[in-house]
Amino acid sequence: MTARRILTVFGTRPEAIKLFPLLHALEGDARFVSRVCVSAQHRDMLDQVLGIAGIAPDHDLDLMRPDQSLDALSAALLTGLGRVIDAERPDWVVVQGDTATAMAGALAAYYHKIPVAHVEAGLRSGDIHHPWPEEVNRKIIGTIAALHAAPTETAAEALRRENVAPATIHVTGNTVIDALHWIVAKSEAQPALVSGLAELEARFAGKRIIGLTSHRRESFGEGMRAIAQAVKRIAARPDVAVIFPVHLNPNVRAIMQAELAGLDNVALIEPLDYPHFARLLAISTLMLTDSGGVQEEAPALGKPVLVMRETTERPEGVAAGTAKLVGTDAERIVAETFRLLDDEAAYAAMARAHNPFGDGRAAGRIVELLAD
């Protein structure tokens, strides 16, 4: 039997995290020839994950440019990925999630009549402007894909409502849980991987740490400023410290530096590599985030998540009680944070809620689907 050629396409740190368990599984399976193309839509943050996971791309488009417009990026992705597909002639193209790279990868494969497997398929917020442009990206991929690896039954049902052929939809769990289990085990075996947070852990000893991430385009401007004002009020509590790996985007950095720099109980730090981010999750009392991945990862470690967005394409977490939407209203962010800090029962209810996003074996299920 001829081995199937699988071309996996990604370009950002979250995609790399969620795809490396699948790439590890493919690499050790004689049924496949695994090839990897990265766009480097995010350069440094992508390379960190590639290094830790031991992934060496076969193709690197290196497309990251300062202040690049979405239309310019999409055009470069489509033509660059088309050339790679011509060279590789894969049996399947695998994409993950909802980035511009994933969307362009699916579209380029479609133009070459190559079937697409979509990892983390079926996420929907129901609003094409929130998250923007991710909601439209994943709807485009959903129209093209021949195999939909849905992380949850809710995601699978969203695809069925869009008249996606039921036989192409499979609930696999989310590979991010596979990745988190892998990196926690690796960090326990190699403590030096997470030693970079030791100084902050010592500085904030005895305080309850709140982990913070914020980068969504729809929050740029007033939303980002409101988040900063809320953090300033939260960090005024003597029993709290905030650790904030600040996204590289200048629309985030300028506001956060202006509002939060110099505060005793706030650490504005550079973006963390994957082991250190997993360590931040582990030492935090709760997470404030607008990230999709954190909504999945934090509950796996028993950490409540307050989601600073108006909608989420991961409603399973809200339904299960592991996450709560608080928007970008400063008053609400502060009130819900204080509730979790001050109400033990409310905290316990979120911390102990069932994580609906997977059992750590999603990659193996997806490999079997690609082999079938």
Query: Which residues are the active-site residues?
Result: 98, 120, 134, 215, 217, 247
d(CA 133, CA 99): 8
137: which 2 tokens?
A: 């990206």
Whether 325 and 319 have beta carbons less than 8 Å apart is answered as no
CA angle 208, 209, 215 (to 5 degrees): 150
Count CA atoms closer than 13 A to 16's CA, side-chain side.
Answer: 26
Q: Give the list of residues 6+ apart from residue 33 with CB closer than 8 angstroms, or none.
A: 3, 4, 5, 6
For residue 244, list its beta bridge partners: 268
Whether 291 and 219 have beta carbons less than 8 Å apart is answered as no
DSSP state of 64: -
CA angle 77, 78, 80 (to 5 degrees): 65
Phi, psi of 243 (to 5 degrees): -110, 120
Whether 7 and 95 have beta carbons less than 8 Å apart is answered as no
Between the CA of residue 343 and those of 234, 239, 287, 352, what are the distances in Å? Answer: 15, 14, 16, 14
d(CA 247, CA 1): 46
Between the CA of residue 199 and those of 2, 151, 196, 205, 256, what are the distances in Å? Answer: 53, 37, 7, 10, 22
Q: Measure CA 156 to chain center.
A: 19
Between the CA of residue 205 and those of 70, 240, 283, 284, what are the distances in Å? Answer: 43, 10, 11, 12
DSSP state of 96: E
Q: What is the largest CA-CA distance in the chain?
A: 65
